[in-house]
Each structure stands twice: as structure tokens, then as C-alpha cells.
Chains A and B, each alone.
Chain A
Amino acid sequence: MDITSWALRKRNYALETSKAQIKLSAASSHPLLGGSAKAIVSDMSDPLNFLRKEKKRVVVEEYAPLPKDDPVEYWNSLSSITSKKFASTEAFKIYSDADDDPKPVPQTFSRLELLEKDNKKKGNEISYLSHKEFLAHINLLTKEMEQAWNQNDRVKTLKLAIQSTKMLRDVQTQTYYPAVFMSITEMLDHFGYLVYTRLIAIAFEGKKDVVNFDSNEVNEQSKETALNWLLKISCIRELQPRLYVEMSLIKNYKFLWDDEHSKVLVRISQQIRGIGSPVMACYAGMYLAKQVISLGIGDKSFLIILLEDLCQCLIGILPEHYELCTPALSWIFYCTALSSSKDELFKLIERLQGVIEYRGDILRIIIEEYPTEYILPNVNYFLDLISGLKNASDRMEISGALAKAYLNSSIDENSMKIINRLWIEISENGKWNIKVYLKASMNFLQLFFKKFGIQQIDILLKDILSHLREDKMKKDWTSHVSEIMNVLISNARDLSMLISLEQFLPLLDEVTPQKKTELCNKIIDTFAREEVKVAISNPLMIHALFTITRVVHDSLDGAESNPDLIARVSNLICKFVRNLHFGNNLEQHLTVLTEARSSFIQFDEVTETLVNSVLDISMKAHKLVSGKHNFKTHAFLKACVSYAHITIPSIDDNMKQFKLFILASQVALVNNLIGEAESLIKTAIARIPDLAEDDELPQVEDCLHTLIGQLVLLPDNPGSSSGFFLPAHGLINALTSLNKRFERLKLRLFISILWYLSSQTQLKLPLKIFRVDSNDKLMSGNANFKEEQLTMMSTVIEELLNFVTECGQMKTIDDAGFEVLLKFYMVLQKVYVCLDESQVSILLKRIYDICLGLRGEAKVKMLRVV
């Protein structure tokens, strides 16, 4: 059979298309058209959207204002913050052997005994590996105590309570004292609770929920029991355990009398003077103040005495010890603030004046703990106090506290002036103590976030930066700077606000690389889920985003890192890339994309987005010039296409590569970049064996058909010496060498190729690209071209004929095979001239018979119609 001699039909594609068109008319009704549907849509807010709106930004605990309205809540949050802050990572060391106490030598005892004792080794120390382990131990003690109590073993219960308080005294280094204090007092509170509820039960015959009562309402037995407890603890030898246990049982006095509490409280607060360590004294005072609050006694005059005493102790101590005291001081001042008037506040400040001169920070605590409506109306008084202080750090601390006071008040012109003055105070004194400076500026930062705008924040950050850079000690401020960053991150409205801060990146450079990564990760974590809606075109912002994402990108290893994180990061980068927007300045866009490509090489998703973006701007360029490229846009297009060409192979996924190559070739073709288009198509075709190997070929079959369709428009080089239809040749070769299991796929594609080849010598192609000359223009009348076309068609048809022969011998056929038969029939009939008795007609008849034999009349009806 000489297939090349078969005559091709002349086609009029336009006519065929118009004939094939089905007339459509608008539907008068369909389910989506209903009038009520629209109402529902507008009424019902999207539940998912709702959630997103409600979602509060997770604010870092330390920067959130503490809940000062309720003492219990305030205590709890203060307690957890303090524990966290002072729970050191080092081992907790606590002496266990309390026998080694400094006992006075009884007159009758020989001194030798004592001397002997001194020679013995120091008491054993218990060392807990960590804060956690220590907490576990305290929990265990608490449980043991409760058990002893339930077994009516009062002595053991008391002993355990005392033992726990001894730990308070025996901590080896004070650095974690506050953390120890918090857990021990919790245990003591429980002890106090056990005793108190027991007393209530005795007094009110089993009732447990009696809250308010007078001492004359309780029976003699409960009074006696309460008194016994107090007598029992009054002979605990050591001062601190005695005080703590008494404080934990302070409610017991309610059973004895109604009106003498203040006497006891004054006495205990004076006894606290006996605690030599200022840190321990402050915390003992803190516990006393706490117990009094829970007792609900109005008279707090003793607190003033307590504060005066404690503050006196603080004058000469080391700064690090003072810092340990601050949570305790905050709490005690808070307690005094609870019921005091404005006048009392000023009286208190006057009484502490002498101390404040040495420890101005105390004034800071006062400002923070007293209600702002006492502070702000008298802000000038405080300004005067500040100017009376010599210590730069104190001045900064107080100014910072005042700034914080403005957080929740409205800002008028006058307060603007004051805030300005306070800021100058900090900015000028900053060089004396950068640590305090940074701490105070945090307050301003929050204030500026709340009340002012980006501009002011930027100025502030600039000032911070210049202070950091002027620091002569060149200390590492990483932890402080990252705190500032955290404030920025948690307060910024969205990502674009954050990165529109000019000083953001320079500040980021001040931290160690490791912390930098951590912070960038945090930024991405905070903002990745948000839609970045704003188009990004500001070069500074782009630079900022680049820096942040690059830091994170570089910290990740595509193979090893957490896939979730990778997804988040690449998602954010993709969003960023997609939101780049430069108007008509496409060249700049391309430059940024080029930069992005060199920055983010790890993730497929990002590379894919980059390629898509570059193709997108290519088409934008096409649209801008309405397809009429000039020299400049032509060059730009070339650059874009070669960007795609170079970038696509770096994607790991073969299918993605393949699809992108085809997409890129289409863009090239549309923009009259014939050579580029052809080479992209060839590269795509070269991927076929790989795709086949990974069994991914069936998933891209559609793309292959599209590709063949695209070939219709791809012009050949009329002066070519190496032949025509080069891409098609490649495709046919690639398909022919495929494994047998892709047989059907190959045949289907061959049929498409037949359609394509047959179109190439028609007078007019079914489609046309503006300003692109296809083969109908270029090759008409080219004999070599026509000859090659017919040869190729015959090659393809031969392959298909083999299949027909095979089918002739089969008794049944699957749907896919049958479909190939039908399609082959149709293409033959359409492409070739079918004269009676010609080879084509005989062939058609044969295929028809086979089909009839295999599937019967009904299934082949359509062939007859054709």
C-alpha cells in the first residue's frame, strides 16, 4: 500500500467550524439563578472569614499588660512570669541538712561540741537538675503533706510545711530565688487551706463554705484548736520558717478575735526586718501582702511600714540582687495602691523620698502599680522628681514608666509635649546604660504603636540603632534587640507595615545569625497565614522581604527540614512573588524576579511561581504593545523566555517541568519567538522518556495533545537544509520508542499528529497568530515540504494500520482500543479524499467491519453518519 500517494482533502476550516457550531440560547431558569440566593450570600458572613477576623494575634505574654483589676489574677500572672524569668537553666541547689543552723551555744553545753560540728562537712545539698525537677519535688512534698493530713498526722503535716520553708532559706544562689519562692508559697497556701477548712469544719459542724463570720460566732473548740496551731508554730526555732508558716496560717486569727489583725500584721512586718538578705526580706513581705489581700482586711498601714523597711534595705545592694527584688516590690506597691487615695500616694512618695534618691527605680514601680488617673494628672510632679535624680538609669526607667502610663489614655497636645520630653530624657541618657535605655524604649515603642504611626516608630528605632552602634563596650545586645523585634512583630498590623519600617532591617542585623533566623521564622509564622493583599512595589519593602525570606530560606534544608515549615516558607515566598507589582515597569519586575531566582533556589513551588510570573509579565508586555513588538520589547521578551528556559530545569518535578516548558513555548510562539518556541518544545519532548519511566506520562497526555495542536501554528524554516517538521519528528521518535504499556496513548497521540500534519499544506490554517507567519504562508507550494509531510503521515498511518490488523484478529476489544479505531476512522475519512474503490475507502470499510464485528450495530452508527 502506497500511503504517500493518497490524495489529501482540501479543507475549509472556517466553514467546518461554523457548521460544527451549536446554537446556544440563554437559559431562562437554573438553580443558581434564584433571587433568594443572593440575599443569603449577603446576609451570611463566611464562617471561615469570621474566624479569621476573630483570631487575636498571639501577643507575647511579657508585653501584654498584666491583669491588675483582680489581685488573684495579677498574682497568678506575676507568679508565672516571675517563675519563668528567674527559673535558671542551671541546677537548683538547695542545702538539705538544716541541722547545721547557727545555734547559740547553751550555757551548759560545751563549746567543744560546736567546734566539732563545724569541722564536719557542710550539710548535704540537694541539687535539682532543673526548675522542672524542682517543681516535681515540691509537688511530691505537697502530695505527701496532704496524705499526712488525711491520715490525721498533724505533726508530719506541719513538719513538711516547715521543711518546705527551710528550702526557701537554704537556696544556694539567689538567682533563682523568686522561682523557688513561687512554688514554695503555693505549697504553703495549700497547707494554710487545709488547716483553715478544718477549723471551719470544727466551728460550723461540718459546713465547709462559711466565708464571713465573727470570732464570737465560733465555738470554743475551734478557738482552742486555732490557738494551739498558733502556739505550736510560735516555737519554730528559725526565723524564716516561723514567719512563713505563721503567714500561711494568718487566717486562723479570725477565730480568735476580730479586731487585732493589724497588731499581728505590724508585728510580722517588723519581724521581717530580722531577715538579713534584702531579697529574702522582700519576698517575705510579698507573701505577707498577699496573705493580707486574701484575708480582706482594710487596714494596710503596716504595708507602708513594710515598704519603708524594705526600701531602706535596697539602697546599697548589687543591681542584680535588686532586680531579683522587683517582682516582690511591684506586688507590695500594687497592694498599697489597691485601697489608697491620691493623697496617700503622694505621702508615700514623700516618705520614700530618701530612698528614691538612691534607687529611682522604686519610683518607676510606683508609677507602674498605681492607677494612671493618679499619675497622669500630676505628671509635672513626676517630671520634677525625675529632674532631681542624678542617676541616668533611674531617669530612663521612670520616663519609660510614665510613657507606659499614657498607653491607655487619650493623647492631647500637652501630653504630646510631655511624651516628647520623656523621650528626650531617654535618648540623651541612653549612652550611660544601654540596657535600661532599651528597656525603657520598649515602653515608648508600644506607646508609639498604639498612639502614633510608622514615622515616629521609625525615628525611635533609628535612635535605638544609633545607641547600639555607639556602644563602646560592643556588647552583644541580641536578647534585648530581639525583644524589641518581638514587640514590632506582635504589634505590627500586618507584614507590610512591619517591613515598611525603614529601620527594621538594620535592626535585624544587630542580632546574632542564629537569632536572626529565629526572628525571621517568627515573622513568617506570624504573617504567613495572612493574605498579603497590598501590591508590593516599594524597593525598600522588597529588599526587606528578600532579606527576611532569604534568611529563613537559607536556614532550611529542603531534604531535612520539617515539611510543614517548608510549606509555610515557600507559601510566603510565593505570595510575595505573586504580589510584586511594578505597573508598566516590566524590566524592573524582571530584575527582581532574577534576583529572587538567585535567592530562592531550594523549593519547587517557589521556582514554579517565578516561572509563572515571568511568563505573566511576558504576556503583559504583549498586551502593552498589542502584539506589535518593537526592538526593545522584543529583547525583553527574549530575556523573559530565556529566563524561563534556564529556570525550569531546576525544578525537581518532571511533570511540572514539562508543563512549564509547554507553557513557555506557547508564550514564545505568541510573541513571534519562533526559534525559542521550537527549542522549548524540543526540550519538552526530550522529557518524554523520563516521564514514561516514572509512569507520569498518562497524566500529561492532555498537554501532549495541546502541544501537537500548538505545532499547527509553529512555522518551519523554508530554507532548512536539515528537513522539516523537526519537533514532530522528535515526538514521533520519542513515542515510537515507548514501552508497550503506553501503546494506546501513543496511538491516540499519533491520531492527533495526523490531524496536525494534514493541516500543514492547507491553503489556510484553522488558526492564526497576529504577526506570526505560519506554514500556510511560508510553505505553500514547497514540494520538498509536501513530500516530507506525506512520508511522515505514511509512517504514522502504518503504525495505526498495524493496530487495525491486530484488532481484526481479536474477538473483543476494550473501550480505549475501540475509541482509537473510531478516531482513526474519522481522521482518515476527514483528511483523505475517499473515492470509491480507492485504498482509503477499502481501509475505511475494513475498519468499519471490524468495529461492527466487535461492538455491533448500535456502536458504529455514528461512523455511518460521517
Chain B
Amino acid sequence: MKCELQLERSSRTYSSGEEIKGSLLVENAPNGVHYNSLSLVLEGYIKGQVSMKSVGALDEILPQVPPIIICRQSQIAAERGTFSSPKIAFPFSIRVVAQEGQSLLETYTGVYISIQYEIKASFNVTEGKNKISTPVPIKVMIHVPGLGLIEGMSRSPQVQPFTITPTSVANPARLVSLPEFRIEGELSSTLFELDREFSGWIVIVEATKPIKSIDLQLIRIESIFSGDTGFKEPTEVQSLQVADGDVRKGAKIPLYMLFPRQFTCPTTFYKKFKIEFEINLSILFFDGYQLTKNFPIYLIR
């Protein structure tokens, strides 16, 4: 016997408040066997997780921070009945809403923090011999429009220009002798909508040494607090090369990046969890010298 959950939407992506429609499909069920309270649950939670790269501090903090259930919706798809035909579908429809006292967050898979939504099905079968395995739970992606926007913040983009020169670089004790350079550019905003691209441009106005590579790095900073101890860890989400080799002086090179699904979410401050994002712009010279400019950004839905 085969038992499977199916969703109508192939992208499996839903916004808050939307109905998740689908059905539980049972094939080749033993004829005449009874079942009852066939139910479906949508569950969403936020939790800290130990990853391969975990640092020692997390092991202490994590047990003190239990996962938070932020969404639990259940529905009885069928009260009781008998399997009669070889193929039966039990349709269901579950609305995406938050648990009381909680608010919805977006699906996110990080290194230390994870926010997941799952649909599970369960039912009782009366005839003991024919044990029916419950179907594999399926994950859904939840989008929460407006999330990440802090009060008083405007959605309209604010261009963020920047200039990098030897004097603007932190160079303690003048350890390195810097090449002469002037790099200009701008980010098209400080906050970015997740389903749009990250954008901006950079121009090498002058540089006395040849450039080897310019890279754009998306960094997430995950923090977990417990009492007065805390844990904060930046890790790379993805890195994209935007220039390869010694580019022409004065050429306006686009900074362009799509935010990867799953691994990004709106900037989140939620009780004991915090997920923030930054952009690192690094300019690597052929002689190994590297400049890095950091830009905190807000991601919103």
C-alpha cells in the first residue's frame, strides 16, 4: 500500500493567511479495512541546531533554548470509513496562521538556526494486522509579506554610495604598504526585497596595482541568547565573483545577486533568536592584498 501527501501548488510556497490545499493519496489499500480520525497537521517551529561547525559555546546555550512552535494547524480530513477502492484521495485545506501568542516567521535553513514548516498526516487503522505507515511529511515554504520591515522604516530604496581609498581603510600601525587606488560604487538600497535581486555597481576609478578578482559575499549573522549569555556567529551564505581579472578603469560593473531560497529570510529578531544579513565586498589584488568593505543590509518580504 502506498500513502502520499500531495500539494496542488508545485512550488510548495505559500504566504501567511493562504490556504494550503492538497490531498492525502492512498493507493492499493487493503479492501474493507476500517480507518478513523484521519488528520493532518501543519507545524512550524524555530529552533537552534548543532551543526558540524558548531563552536563550544552553543553546546551550552542550546539546551536552555527550546524550540518555539510558531504554528500548529490541524484538520480532520475524514472521521471514519473503510478502504473500498484501490485509489482514494482525501482532500484537505489548511490555513497558514500563527499560534496564539506567536507570529509567523519565514522558512529558513541556517547553520545554527532553522525555521521549518511541515505537513504531517496521521490516522488510526482498526484492523491490527494491516499496519499502515504514515506518509512522509512534506515541507512547505512560508512567505510572510512585510516581514523584516521595522517600524518607521521605509520600503522605498535609499541609495547607499561608497568610496574606498587608502585613507578609508583600517590599516592599524600601517602594517601594509597600500597601493594607490580609488574605488567608487553604490548599493541601490540598504534594504532589499527577497524576491528581487541585490543590486548596485562598482567602479575602479584608479588602482596602481592590477586587480585579480572582485567578489560579493552574502553573510548571515545568527544569534541565540539565553539570559545574559549569548552566541553570535557570522557565516557565508554564498559568494559570487563579479569581476575576474584586471577590469577596465572606469567601467561600471554591476553588483548583482539573487537571494537564494531557503537560506535567506527577512531580517529576523524573534525572542531569543536573531538572523541578520550583511554584504561583504572584497577586492583582491594580484599581489594577494585584499580590501573588504562590509555593508549591513535588511532583507524584507
Contact = CB atoms under 8 A, between A and B. Distances in A.
Same assembly: yes
B10 A237 contact: no
Interface string A160-181: 0000000001000000000000
Nearest to B248: A313
Contact of A274 (B242, B284, B292): B242
A215 to B, nearest CB: 16
Interface residues of A, number: 34
A238 B261 CA distance: 20
A220 B9 contact: yes
Given A101-B241, A104-B213, A118-B288, 5 more contacts: A106-B219, A169-B244, A224-B11, A240-B244, A267-B256
A107 B279 CA distance: 11
B244 A239 contact: yes
B202 to A, nearest CB: 9
A309 interface: yes
Contacts of B169: none
Interface of B: 9-11, 211-215, 217, 219, 233-236, 238-248, 251-254, 256-258, 260-261, 280, 282, 284, 288, 290, 292
Contact of A104 (B10, B256, B284): B284
What 10 A-B pairs come out closest when comparing CB atoms?
Answer: A276-B245, A104-B282, A274-B243, A102-B213, A239-B241, A234-B258, A273-B251, A276-B246, A239-B244, A104-B215
A497 interface: no
Interface in A232-261: 234-240, 242
A235 B240 contact: yes
Given A104-B282, A270-B253, A220 B260 contact: no
Nearest to A235: B238
A632 interface: no
A104 B219 CA distance: 12
A14 interface: no
B242 A271 contact: yes
A108 interface: yes
B236 A238 contact: no
Contacts of B292: 104-105, 107
Contacts of B246: 276
Contact of B211 (A237, A270, A276): A276
Interface string A740-754: 000000000000000
Contacts of B239: 103-104, 237
A312 interface: yes
A169 B213 CA distance: 13
A273 B248 contact: yes
11 contacts: A102-B213, A104-B215, A105-B282, A106-B219, A234-B257, A238-B244, A239-B244, A270-B252, A273-B252, A275-B245, A276-B247
A309 B260 contact: no
B252 A102 contact: no
Contact of B260 (A104, A235, A238, A270): A235
A277 B290 CA distance: 20
Contacts of B11: 220, 224
A812 B261 CA distance: 113
B296 to A, nearest CB: 13
Contact of B245 (A104, A271, A277): A277
A221 interface: yes
Contacts of B248: 273, 276, 312-313
Nearest to A220: B10
Contacts of B241: 101, 237-239, 242, 274
B264 to A, nearest CB: 11
A312 B282 contact: no
B284 to A, nearest CB: 5
A827 interface: no
A231 interface: yes
Most chain A C-beta atoms within 10 Å of own C-beta, residue among B243, B248, B252, B292: B248
Contacts of B254: 267, 270-271, 273-274
Interface string A266-286: 010011011111001000000
Contacts of B9: 220
Nearest to B281: A104
Interface string A101-130: 111111110000000001000000000000
B261 A231 contact: yes
A404 B290 CA distance: 51
B261 to A, nearest CB: 7
Most chain B C-beta atoms within 10 Å of own C-beta, residue among A271, A276, A309, A313: A276
B280 A107 contact: yes
Most chain A C-beta atoms within 10 Å of own C-beta, residue among B213, B240, B245, B280: B245
Nearest to A115: B288
A482 B212 CA distance: 43
A104 to B, nearest CB: 4
Nearest to A277: B245
Given A102-B284, A220-B9, A231 B260 contact: yes
B244 A231 contact: no
Contacts of B213: 101-102, 104
Contact of B247 (A118, A235, A236, A273): A273
Nearest to B278: A107
A270 B245 CA distance: 15
A118 B284 CA distance: 14
B242 A239 contact: yes
Contacts of B242: 239, 271, 274
A271 B199 CA distance: 12
Contacts of A107: 219, 234, 280, 292
B193 to A, nearest CB: 16
Contacts of B214: 274
A234 B237 CA distance: 13
Contacts of A234: 257-258, 260
A273 B253 contact: yes
A118 B290 CA distance: 14
A705 to B, nearest CB: 90
Contacts of B215: 102-104
Contact of A276 (B217, B233, B244, B257): B244
Contacts of B251: 273, 309, 312
Contact of B290 (A104, A235, A242, A309): A104
Contacts of B244: 169, 238-240, 274-276
A309 B280 CA distance: 27
B143 to A, nearest CB: 15
Most chain B C-beta atoms within 10 Å of own C-beta, residue among A101, A106, A275: A106
A810 B36 CA distance: 128
A288 to B, nearest CB: 14
A104 B243 CA distance: 12
Contacts of A312: 248, 251
B120 to A, nearest CB: 24
A229 to B, nearest CB: 12
Nearest to B257: A234
Contact of A102 (B10, B212, B258, B261): B212
A43 B80 CA distance: 97
Most chain A C-beta atoms within 10 Å of own C-beta, residue among B9, B219, B244: B244
Nearest to B233: A108
Nearest to B261: A231
Contacts of A103: 215, 239
A108 B220 CA distance: 12
Most chain B C-beta atoms within 10 Å of own C-beta, residue among A169, A238, A240, A280: A238
Contacts of A224: 10-11
B165 to A, nearest CB: 20
A108 B238 contact: no
Nearest to A273: B251
Contact of B280 (A104, A235, A237): A104
Contacts of B233: 108
B253 A237 contact: no
B217 A104 contact: yes
Contacts of B236: 106
Nearest to A102: B213
A236 B240 CA distance: 7
Most chain A C-beta atoms within 10 Å of own C-beta, residue among B217, B242, B251, B252: B251
Given A104-B290, A273-B253, A309-B251, A242 B240 contact: yes
